[in-house]
Amino acid sequence: MSHGLSFWEEDYEDYLEFYDDDGGKRRKLSKREFCELSEEMNDLCVWSNIRELTPAEKRRMEELGYLLMG
């Protein structure tokens, strides 16, 4: 399921606050990047409730969590 940019607006605002608190250790994501990666994370979370994720999918979830500061 794909959401529009406005769907992630509040989450992106929270991300920006966390980003500022993190001291810029991670690359700052644009709103579009944040939304695309959030969609990918959401899809993986849905799949994880249906079946066991592959090792590659699990690694990707970790990467996304790091980038999204989850």
Q: What is the pLDDT of residue 9?
A: 87
Q: Is the pLDDT of residue 8 over 90?
A: no
Burial-class residue 30 by CB neighbours within 10 Å (0-12, 13-18, 19+). Answer: exposed
Angle between helices 55-67 and 31-50 (to 10 degrees): 140
Q: What is the pLDDT of residue 3?
A: 58
Q: Is the pLDDT of residue 20 over 90?
A: no
- Supply the mean pLDDT for the chain: 87
Q: Please give the average per-residue pLDDT across 37-47, as a whole number.
A: 96
Q: What is the pLDDT of residue 33?
A: 95
Q: Is the pLDDT of residue 44 over 90?
A: yes
Burial-class residue 38 by CB neighbours within 10 Å (0-12, 13-18, 19+). Answer: buried
Consecutive H or E run containing 31:
helix 31-50
Entry pTM: 0.80
